[in-house]
Amino acid sequence: MVPNNASMNLTTLLHTAGVAQAGVEAKLAAVGLSLAKLAALQALIDAGDALPLNQLADRLSCVRSNITQLVDRLEADGLVRRRTDPHDRRLRLAVLTPAGRRACDEGTRVKASAERDLLCSLSRQEAEQLRTLLGKLAGSTA
Provide the binding-site residues for DNA, judged by CB under 7 A: 34-37, 52-54, 57, 61-73, 82, 88-92
**Residue number, 21 or 113, with CB nearest to DNA:** 21
Q: How far apart are CA 3 and CA 7, in angstroms?
A: 10
Partner interacting with residue 97 (select from DNA, a copy of itself, none; CB below 5-8 Å by kind) = none
Cβ count near 63 (within 10 Å)? 9
Least distance between DNA and beta carbon 119 (Å)? 21
Least distance between DNA and beta carbon 124 (Å)? 29
CA dihedral defined by 118, 121, 124, 129, rounded to 10 degrees? Answer: -80
Partner interacting with residue 13 (select from DNA, a copy of itself, none; CB below 5-8 Å by kind) = a copy of itself
Least distance between a copy of itself and beta carbon 84 (Å)? 32
Which residues fall within 8 angstroms of residue 107, CB to CB, at 6 or more apart?
A: 28, 31, 33, 37, 38, 41
**Residue number, 65 or 140, with CB nearest to a copy of itself:** 140
| The amino acid at 41 | L
